[in-house]
Structure formats: C-alpha cells, structure tokens
Structure 1
Amino acid sequence: MGQRAVKQSGAPALRTADPETDQSSDQALLAAVLAQASGHRFGEIEVPVTIARALERMGYEVPTEVQARSIPPLRTGADLIGQAQTGTGKTAAFGIPIVEKIDPAAGHVQALVLTPTRELCVQVTDEIARIGQFRNVKTVAIYGGSSMDRQISALRRGAQVVVGTPGRVLDLIRRGELHLDRVHTVILDEADRMLDMGFIVDVETILSRCPRQRQTALFSATMPYAILRICDRFMRRDATHIAVRPELQTVESVRQLLYFVAEQDKVRALLELTEAFGFDRLLVFRHTQIGVDRLAATLKRRGQNVAALHGGLSQRERDRTLADFKAGRIQFLVATNVASRGLDITDLPYVLNYDIPEDADTYVHRIGRTGRMGKEGTAITFVGEWDLDAWEAIRAQVKAPIEEGELRLYGTA
C-alpha cells in the first residue's frame, strides 16, 4: 500500500458519528486540522462507524499533515488544490471523504480518481477499497495493459468508485462503457506526472465529460503553469489551497549524503559505496532511458544483480522488474524519474542520485522513495565537476542537513 497514516501499536480510539445521519461536527473537523500538531489521534475526526471499523483494522491512528489539512475541507464539499509528494498520505486524505459520500445502494459511478500509472492506480484502488470495506463500496481499477473485457464487466456490475489512468478511462468513455454523468467527486492524483507523461489533454477531455456541479481535488508535487491552467478552467475560484513543504517530509527520517565524484569515476564510486554500506536494495536514478540502460549493462558486466526500469519497457516487464526488486531478488534498480515516481516500495533503505536532479523538487521526489512514513533511510547524491551550480541551487532550497562523504578512490578515506 502507498500513502497512509502513521501506524502505531494498539487499537486507535476512533469516535464514530451517528450512522443514521453520517454527519460530523464542526468541532471534530477542527480537531482533525489540529491533530498533526497536537499529537491527537485519527479518532479526533468523527467518522461513520463503518469507516471507523475499517481505519481501525488498517491500523490508522495519527493523521499525516496532508490528511489533517485535506480531510476537513473535502468533507464539506470544497474543491481542493494540494501540493504534496507521494508517500505523504494523500490517498487516505481523499479516500475517506469519497467513501463517506458514496451511496452504496446506487449502482452508478459516483467518484472518479485519475492517476498517471498503472502501479499507482492499483495502490489507490486497494486503499479506497479497504477504507470502504464495511460500507460495501465497489471500487474498480481501470488501466491499460490489462483485460478491457474484465474492466467492462466490473463497470457493468455497478462500480461506484472508478480509479483509472487517463488513456483507458477516455477509451471506455468513448466506447460508451463508462458513464460520468452522475459523478459528484473527481480527484486528480499526481497531476504533474500526468503532465510529464503527456496525459493532460486526455485529463481535460475527461473533466469536460463530468457534471459541472461536482467536487474536484487536485494533488501535485509541483505546480507548473499547465497544472495551474487546469485549476483555473475546471475548479471553483474559492478552492482550498494547501501545501505540505518538502523539507518537513524528509528532514527527520532520511540521512542525506553528498559525494563529489567525476563522471568517469561514478561506477567505481558506486561499487565502493556498495562495499561500505552493504546495499541490500538500492534505487539508482538517471536522467534518461539510455543512461539507465548503459549503467545497468555496466553493472551487470561487473557481476552485479541489476535491472533497469523506464518508460521504454512494456508494462509486463516493468511489473516483473518491480516485483523482483520488492522481493529482494534484485539488488540494484536503475530507473528514470518518470518510471520511479509513485512506486510504493516498503522499507527501501537506500536511494542514489547517480545523475544530479534537475531541481529541488526532483531531488525531494527522488529521496522520498526512502524514509517513507517516518522509517529511516539514506539518500546519496553524486555531484560531478559540471554540477556545482545546479547542486548549490538545490541545496539552497533543501533545508535538511546534508553530510559530505569521502571516497577511498580519491585517497581521502
């Protein structure tokens, strides 16, 4: 599972709303906003008894910042623009309000969640299904590379929440199999990734097929102009804005290390650090697909257990590679930014920026693959001779402490 609240031992003290009215008090909503800072439990948010049971079973207790700040306005029906990374608990932040609003007796699509990738689509579907397990909410995942017939059958059986990638969602709309005329809630999850992957035109087309009187929430790690244009065109002027600052998400749980390494020495440096740290699993970032393939091939020639992950691979290849990495059958996973963002890899201990990130946002995205939800992790960055200006710009924006390491290959360790 991906984004979720912090788990703690013991059963959460959940307070439940009147299951007949399914409503929450203003005081409870205010308590939810304050929960993150005050250390209160998830139970400070009054929820219907069926959702309370689900959250208890899932082990949810303390809201993350994005949950504490998003759930109250979403429950009131407000539009919301949220700037937050993956791994911050976004899915539960919009999943709980969605499940509350669903009419389990109605056999039509009531909520739509758009995601950039199949992996994230599956994660979000599973999370919402678990939140809605005691309300009999029917949640369906729709994405390319999988049987369309099975997805159509699921829709025809009366799906109430549809989670999908833009291309497949639009395809099913055009085939007359997916009807959005009674959708009351639309979520755009990781909108900047959908922009990066060329889905924005599809997203705009899908939004134009939804009722004008709806609730829309958009979550994005960055806010480029094209995303702001979508907000302006398709969301209410009084939408609630929240921003979870990246440095607050990494400073405590991720140890950040810097090594100055010439380009021609990076492979040797990686092998030296492998010996020093004893990497069991390491996610390595490169800018391009060609760079990913070249490094993976070089490491393989050196006898390393390595695989590549990028958008040039088929969905089946990507799924198999990711499953092997999660299971520990692959030691090094070399990946591009687009292929790796949104991956939910539990307890990933190490991340390496083999190529320096383009900017501070990308840096935070990358190192956010480790140290998720408070778990400890280590993020290493190689800075070459041509990277100094770019690195200084990143470092100026990342307020967390960054240690400078030394390498034996330069005779300094």
Structure 2
Amino acid sequence: MIRNFAELELDPNLLLAIEEMGYDRPTQIQAEAIPQALAGRDVLASAPTGTGKTAAFVLPALQFLQDFPRRKPGPARVLILTPTRELAMQVADQARALAKHTKLNIFTITGGVQYQEHADILAKTQDIVVATPGRLMEYIESERFDCRAIESLILDEADRMLDMGFGPTVDRLSSECRWRKQTMLFSATLEGKGVEGFTADLLKDPAQIEAEPSRRERKKIAQWYHRADNMEHKLELLKKIITEQAERSIVFLKTRERLGELRAELERAQIPCAWIQGEMPQDRRNNAISRFRDGTVNVLLATDVAARGIDLPDVSHVINYDMPRGADVYLHRIGRTARAGKKGNAVSIVEAHDQPMIKRVERYIGEEIKERFIKELRPKHRKPVFKKKNKKKEDKKKVAAKSKKKVAKKK
C-alpha cells in the first residue's frame, strides 16, 4: 500500500506543490490510479466526489509532460473533458496549483466565454486544455483547434456527460484524437450507463479501479437524522438546524418543484439562500455559487443533477431535506462536507416513508446512523417499524409461479 506521494516517484517540483497544498498521503483512488497511469495504461475508474479523483488524473498527465518535454511551441498535448464549465474551471485551477513549479500552460475552453478570449488562448502554446465537449467541437469543426498533438485524453464525470447528451460528441472527439497514446475515463459509477454509453473502442485494455470514500474519510463526517411528523414539522426542523446549528449548509432536494417550494418558505422566514437546479442559465448558476462561496449567503439549495462535481469549501452541514433515490447518491451528497481534511456533518430529515431508505443507507455504508432530537421539536408519532419480508415464503411463491408458467406452456 502506498503511504505517501514520494513513493509514487513523481517529479520533485510536483511533490513540492503537493506538499504546499497540504496533502500528506494519497487517497485510495490516487494510490491505485496514478501508478497504472504512469505505466502508460488506459484507466477506467469509478470515484465518487470527494475522493481526490482530480489529482488522480492530473498528476500522471503533468508527470508525462515533464518526462517528455515538448521540443517546439504548439497545440495541447493533454485534453481533459468535463460536462460543465464550473467543473472545467475547478479542474484547471487544481491542475495549475499542482503545476505551480513547472512552466506548463493550462487553459480552459468552455461555453459562456467570448470567442476573442479563446482565439487568444488558441494562438499560444498550450500543454493541457480542459474543455466542455460542445464548445470544443465547434472549434474543431471550424479548424481552430488541432487534435493531432493530443497524446492523452481524459474524461471526467463521464456518466454525467452521457446524462447531458454528450455521448455522440465525445465519441467524435475520441476519433479526432485518434493518435493519442492513453485514455483515462472517470465516472461516479461503472454500472449501467456509466461507461457502456460510450463506444467500446474509447479504451484499450484499461486498468479498472473502483474507489469508495475511505472509512477514515467518512469518520470525519458526523451523521444523524431527525424524524418529522409532517411537512410543517420538517420545515421547522430545517429552519432550526440552518439558523442555530449550521454555519454553511447545502440542502438537497429531490426535484426543482420541491426546491421552488422550499425557497419560497425560507424567503417568508427571511432566511437568505442561493439555489442551483437543472436547466438553469449558466450566468445564474455561477452567480448562485459565487454568492455561497464568498459567504454572501450561507445556505445553498440544490438538486442532485445541479450539484454534481461542484467543489465548495468549508461546508459545515449537508442536509438531506429529501432523502435521495439511492444509497450511492447519499454517499455523493455527504461527500460535499469534510473536505480537505476538515470535519463535517450530514443531517437527514426523514418522514415515516423515508425510514426504509435510512436502513438501506446504513447497510450500504456499513455503519449505524443515529437518531437525534431537538427538544422543542420532538416527533409526536412513534417510529415506524417495517417488517422484514419472509424470504422462505417469497422463494416458495417464486417457485410456485415458475411451475405454473411451465404447466401453462405445456398446455
């Protein structure tokens, strides 16, 4: 097991930058992906947010550019694709911090930027370009971006790119970069659409890596839940938590409609908040995130689609106002707090019908989530008990149903 970054045989100037950023030891995804990438293999990795995946693909790319320096000025040699502009900016910022002691040039090409700004970038020597697929494809079609020099293609949040309909564009970009030596694909999950939505020839014999947030990382997050009798009770619990317990909270909701309702309730209670949701104009999203980042507001309401990939510092509380549809999504949500070695809190406000989901989450993360009470807002109803299904009875029913089908077929 790799215990520190020095064991990864990285360039001293990269190790210095890592040290200055305060990272002491590699996360699981970094310890497993970096050696494979440095060996030149394609990488197929699943890594939830908060596991340090950006450094897992940026460090090998930087090391490659150091090992094989360019001989003359020219276009980008490493292309990183991300689904959104915010994520592209975050990845580029982290890459610049890690490349601080090198002379490498790192640029972003995304939507929402004037053409002239990009024209200036494209006229310079680029080493790494972080781009969103749609805008980059425009420049390739108009012959303003040259893919022939790309030696490494990296896809971050590949599953989300598929959700956003970028699959065909990414496949086209892949064929444009057909002279590359290496491909790395990072996705929140390797199941279902995570990877299968892309053509099979994107990766060649990849090293497969699946990383979960480590127990040690999760231990930094205190998790508990409050029971709510009804929607009014739920709202009162939330107001109490965000005004008296939390410093900076992200509140998760299932849908845009639910977000709109809660936003109106908080406005009525004169609790300032920002919000992000799917299909929101880019400038409004950026404005909401900036307001939360700079502390103008300390409550950010978000749907899961909108919050994917956004890295926000100093979030003290993640609040599940609506429980997510799956235990893996719960893990993604709570990964927004306790970042960069800090401690954090994950609070769920559950109604009776949410109780089975708490149990599912407990099974998934392998630990108990305790119930807590706020003295003046204790629930009046008893905790619901859901009986376990009798497996033997179920199995007997299935066998009986199968034999009935067989009999019917014979007839």
Common fold: TM-score over 0.5:
yes
Residue 181 of structure 2 corresponds to which residue in structure 1?
A: 214
Q: Distance in 2 between matches of 1:248 and 1:85?
A: 14
Q: CA deviation at 1:335?
A: 0.7
Residue 365 of structure 1 corresponds to which residue in structure 2?
A: 332
Which structure 2 residues correspond to residues 150-229 of structure 1 after superposition, within 5 A?
A: 150-211=117-178, 213-229=180-196
1:291 aligns with 2:258: yes
Q: Distance in 1 between matches of 2:100 and 2:274?
A: 37
**What percent of counterpart residues are identical?**
34
In 2, are the aligned partners of 1:286 and 1:292 still within 8 Å (CA)?
yes
DSSP 3-state at the match of 1:82:
strand
Alignment counterpart, residue 360 of structure 2, candidates 356, 371, 393? 393
1:271 aligns with 2:254: no
In 1, are the aligned partners of 2:28 and 2:214 still within 8 Å (CA)?
no
1:86 aligns with 2:54: no
Q: Distance in 2 between matches of 1:274 and 1:318?
A: 22
The aligned amino acid for 1:218 is: L
In 2, are the aligned partners of 1:250 and 1:400 still within 8 Å (CA)?
no
In 1, are the aligned partners of 2:174 and 2:202 still within 8 Å (CA)?
no
Alignment counterpart, residue 77 of structure 1, candidates 40, 52, 58? 40
The aligned amino acid for 1:81 is: L
Any idea what the Cα deviations from partners look like across 1:327-364, whole Å, max 9, x if unmatched?
Answer: 22112111111211222211210011111101011101
Residue 31 of structure 2 corresponds to which residue in structure 1?
A: 68
Q: CA deviation at 1:179?
A: 1.5
Residue 384 of structure 2 corresponds to which residue in structure 1?
A: none
1:253 aligns with 2:216: no
Alignment counterpart, residue 312 of structure 2, candidates 345, 348, 351? 345
Residue 407 of structure 2 corresponds to which residue in structure 1?
A: none
In 2, are the aligned partners of 1:88 and 1:373 still within 8 Å (CA)?
no
Q: CA deviation at 1:230?
A: 5.0
Alignment counterpart, residue 334 of structure 1, candidates 294, 297, 301? 301
The aligned amino acid for 1:46 is: E
Q: Distance in 2 between matches of 1:327 and 1:162?
A: 27
Residue 41 of structure 1 corresponds to which residue in structure 2?
A: 4
DSSP 3-state at the match of 1:61:
coil
In 2, are the aligned partners of 1:104 and 1:137 still within 8 Å (CA)?
no
TM superposition score normalised by structure 1: 0.85
Q: CA deviation at 1:213?
A: 4.7
Aligned length: 375
In 2, are the aligned partners of 1:250 and 1:368 still within 8 Å (CA)?
no
Q: Distance in 1 between matches of 2:335 and 2:252?
A: 12
The aligned amino acid for 1:71 is: I
Q: CA deviation at 1:104?
A: 4.0
Q: CA deviation at 1:295?
A: 0.7
Q: CA deviation at 1:41?
A: 2.7
Kindly report structure 1 stretches of 4+ aligned residues shifted beyond 4 Å. none
- The RMSD of aligned alpha carbons is 2.2
In 2, are the aligned partners of 1:280 and 1:328 still within 8 Å (CA)?
no
DSSP 3-state at the match of 1:47:
coil
Any idea what the Cα deviations from partners look like across 1:158-201, whole Å, max 9, x if unmatched?
Answer: 21211011111212211211111221111111112222222222
DSSP 3-state at the match of 2:340:
helix
In 1, are the aligned partners of 2:362 and 2:368 still within 8 Å (CA)?
no
Q: CA deviation at 1:370?
A: 0.5
Pair 281,232 (structure 1): closer, same or farther in 2 beyond 3 Å: same
Q: Distance in 2 between matches of 1:297 and 1:127?
A: 36
Any idea what the Cα deviations from partners look like across 1:59-112, whole Å, max 9, x if unmatched?
Answer: 443212211111111011101111111222212111111112223444122111
Pair 411,136 (structure 1): closer, same or farther in 2 beyond 3 Å: closer
DSSP 3-state at the match of 2:134:
helix
Q: Distance in 1 between matches of 2:63 and 2:312?
A: 29
In 2, are the aligned partners of 1:108 and 1:159 still within 8 Å (CA)?
yes
The aligned amino acid for 1:94 is: F
Q: CA deviation at 1:304?
A: 0.6
DSSP 3-state at the match of 1:372:
coil
In 2, are the aligned partners of 1:289 and 1:312 still within 8 Å (CA)?
no
The aligned amino acid for 2:56 is: A
Moved more, 112-121 or 196-205: 196-205
Pair 412,373 (structure 1): closer, same or farther in 2 beyond 3 Å: farther
Q: Distance in 1 between matches of 2:143 and 2:373?
A: 61
Q: Distance in 1 between matches of 2:6 and 2:217?
A: 26
Q: Where in structure 2 are there 5+ consecutive unaligned residues?
A: 382-411
1:243 aligns with 2:206: no
Pair 388,184 (structure 1): closer, same or farther in 2 beyond 3 Å: same
Q: CA deviation at 1:250?
A: 4.6
- Computing the radius of gyration from Cα coordinates, the structure with the larger value is 2
